[in-house]
């Protein structure tokens, strides 16, 4: 079943622009004719995200929220013993996201031709990542697809919730920095220049604070273009540098050493590593394949390198916990729990316990981050404002005493 976008006129002569599901172009035209639509144009919609070249690409993106909802609906339909092809048809009618609807239509066509669901999903890597595809493949092979899909929906929702909490934690500081920069920009380019004329007419030495403010004001007025150009150039060069292997390794090492941010980054990566690995292993994915997938999901290159070493150790018959312990980046509690899990044969439950523990710690730290940063930001901004005020007030007081 494909999706066709059409433009036509209804029985009243009003222009209609919509889409229709149909097995083919002729069937779509027949449907529209029975609906009383006189066609002006019609074309099949393509997702533009698979490996084939397509004619059309939508501006709408498939959000994690849409993906989690679709996955849970698919799990419900599969659990009800509905065939995959019919389940995908039902999902096409239920989803509100136009891009996801077209992708499901294309996946349905591939599955109808005999391709497995995992193979069809793999052709849309921008929507379905390696974790998603490998879990679906494991579910198909084990015959527990509905169970795997439910776990996958829970996993996707948890990742979305974590991402939203991180965004929420950095929103307040970002707004404060923007407002502060805007406020001081106005002060130094509008207010200070007017007061500077008065100060210079005094013909006496100004306090060092006032001289600093005047210098900043003169620099911004005379070289504002250099400030903007320098800011963009610095950002561009920095981004280019950290995209290199050497730069990325340096930056990720610096992140781990930063106060507050370093500890938070470590906990987020540990939580992601443990939760993803536990989900994959519980879904029947072999441990070597699971570690290969998890390695690509760990954001820090140094922590990811330790995961790769663990995969090599297991391949050679060794322990997974040893390389994680040797790198010194994974907390001792994590490596200890993994060691216990390997010895007892209960690795998945141990990983789940660690994941839940660190997820709670991340949530608590993120909730406290805003309350911690708020007074710090207020003190910094207050100090900057006080500096500017005193740099203006002190010479004005001298001017009043001079007039007397």
Which CATH number covers residue 388?
1.20.81.30
Task: List, in sequence order, every residue forming a beta bridge with 180; answer none if it has no partner.
Answer: none
* Residues 230 and 323 reside in one and the same domain: yes
Helical residues (DSSP H) of 187-286, grouped into ranges: 192-201, 208-242, 245-257, 261-282
Give the pLDDT mean for 30-39: 75
pLDDT over 90 percentage in the chain: 15
Q: Which domain, by its residues, includes 300?
A: 169-404
Indicate whether 308 pLDDT > 70. yes
Residue 22 — pLDDT band, cuts 50, 70, 90? low
Query: From CA 147, how far away is CA 298, in angstroms rounded?
Result: 25
And the tokens for 98? 């136009």
Q: What is the pLDDT of residue 45?
A: 62
Structural domains counted in the chain: 3
* Residues 279 and 236 reside in one and the same domain: yes
Strands 2-9, 15-22: pairing is antiparallel
User: Could you tell me if residue 334 is inside a domain?
Assistant: yes
* Residues 205 and 311 reside in one and the same domain: yes
User: Could you tell me if residue 54 is inside a domain?
Assistant: no
Give the pLDDT mean for 337-351: 90
Distances 52 to 125, 146, 271 between C-alpha atoms, Å: 12, 29, 36
Q: What is the pLDDT of residue 318?
A: 85
Indicate whether 47 pLDDT > 60. no
Q: Is the CB of residue 40 less than 8 Å from the CB of residue 30? A: no
Q: What is the DSSP letter of 19?
A: E
Residue 350 — pLDDT band, cuts 50, 70, 90? very high
Which of 380-404 are b and which e, b meaning 16 or more Cβ less than 10 Å from the residue's Cβ? ebeeeeeebeebbeebeebeeeeee
* Residues 378 and 294 reside in one and the same domain: yes
What's the mean per-residue pLDDT of the chain? 83
* Residues 213 and 111 reside in one and the same domain: no
User: Could you tell me if residue 95 is inside a domain?
Assistant: yes
Q: What is the pLDDT of residue 305?
A: 92
* Residues 173 and 154 reside in one and the same domain: no
| Domain stop point among 139, 158, 177 | 158
Q: What is the pLDDT of residue 244?
A: 92
Give the pLDDT mean for 169-186: 86
213-268 pLDDT, tens digit per residue, is 889 988 988 888 998 999 999 999 999 999 999 999 999 999 999 888 888 889 98
* Residues 242 and 373 reside in one and the same domain: yes
Indicate whether 368 pLDDT > 90. no
* Residues 154 and 177 reside in one and the same domain: no
pTM for the complete prediction? 0.70
User: Could you tell me if residue 325 is inside a domain?
Assistant: yes
Helix then strand then coil, % of the chain, to nearest 5:
75, 5, 20
And the tokens for 277? 């690995």
Q: What is the pLDDT of residue 233?
A: 95
Residue keyed to tokens 């622009």: 17
Query: From CA 308, how far away is CA 301, in angstroms rounded?
Result: 10
- Pick the residue with more confidence: 3 or 263? 263
Residue 400 — pLDDT band, cuts 50, 70, 90? low
Task: List, in sequence order, every residue forming a beta bridge with 43; answer none if it has no partner.
Answer: 5
Residue 306 — pLDDT band, cuts 50, 70, 90? very high
Q: What is the pLDDT of residue 56?
A: 36
| Domain stop point among 124, 158, 192 | 158
* Residues 36 and 72 reside in one and the same domain: no
Contacts of 99 by beta carbon, 8 Å cutoff, 6+ apart: 47, 49, 58, 60, 61, 62
| Domain stop point among 95, 128, 158 | 158
User: Could you tell me if residue 51 is inside a domain?
Assistant: no
* Residues 377 and 273 reside in one and the same domain: yes
User: Could you tell me if residue 163 is inside a domain?
Assistant: no
Q: How many other C-beta atoms lie within 10 A of the C-beta of residue 56?
A: 12
Q: How far apart are the first and last CA of the chain?
A: 91
Query: From CA 124, how far away is CA 62, in angstroms rounded?
Result: 11
User: Could you tell me if residue 359 is inside a domain?
Assistant: yes
* Residues 154 and 182 reside in one and the same domain: no
* Residues 198 and 345 reside in one and the same domain: yes
Indicate whether 57 pLDDT > 50. no
């Amino acid at each position: 079943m494909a999706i066709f976008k059409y433009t036509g006129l209804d029985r009243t002569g009003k222009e209609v622009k919509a889409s229709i599901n149909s097995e083919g172009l002729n069937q779509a035209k027949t449907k529209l004719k029975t609906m009383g639509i006189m066609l002006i144009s019609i074309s099949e919609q393509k997702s533009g995200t698979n490996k084939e070249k397509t004619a059309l690409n939508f501006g709408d993106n498939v959000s994690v929220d849409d993906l989690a909802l679709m996955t849970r609906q698919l799990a419900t339909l599969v659990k009800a013993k509905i065939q995959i092809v019919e389940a995908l048809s039902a999902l096409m009618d239920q989803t509100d996201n136009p891009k996801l609807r077209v992708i499901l239509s294309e996946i349905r066509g591939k599955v109808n031709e005999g391709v497995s669901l995992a193979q069809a999903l793999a052709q849309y890597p921008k929507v379905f990542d390696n974790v998603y595809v490998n879990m679906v493949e494991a579910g198909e092979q084990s015959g527990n697809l509905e169970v795997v899909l439910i776990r996958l929906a829970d996993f996707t929702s948890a990742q979305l919730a974590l991402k939203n909490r991180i965004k929420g934690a950095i929103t307040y500081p970002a707004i404060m920095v923007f407002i502060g920069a805007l406020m001081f920009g106005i002060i130094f380019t509008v207010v200070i220049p007017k007061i500077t004329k008065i100060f210079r007419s005094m013909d006496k030495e100004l306090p060092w604070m006032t001289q600093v403010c005047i210098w900043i004001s003169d620099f911004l007025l005379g070289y504002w273009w250099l400030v903007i150009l320098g800011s963009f150039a610095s950002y561009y060069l920095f981004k280019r540098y950290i995209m290199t292997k050497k730069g990325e390794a340096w930056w990720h090492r610096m992140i781990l050493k930063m106060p507050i941010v370093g500890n938070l980054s470590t906990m987020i990566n540990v939580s992601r590593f443990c939760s993803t690995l536990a989900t994959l292993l519980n879904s029947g994915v072999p441990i070597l394949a699971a570690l290969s997938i998890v390695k690509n999901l760990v954001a820090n290159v140094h922590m990811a390198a330790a995961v790769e070493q663990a995969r090599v150790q297991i391949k050679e018959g060794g322990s997974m916990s040893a390389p994680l312990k040797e790198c010194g980046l994974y907390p001792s509690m994590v490596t200890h729990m993994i060691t216990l899990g390997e010895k007892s044969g209960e690795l998945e439950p141990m990983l789940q316990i660690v994941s839940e523990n660190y997820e709670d710690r991340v949530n608590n730290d993120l909730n406290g981050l805003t309350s911690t940063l708020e007074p710090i930001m207020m003190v910094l901004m207050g100090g900057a404002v006080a500096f500017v005020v005193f740099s203006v007030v002190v010479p004005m007081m001298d001017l009043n005493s001079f007039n007397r």
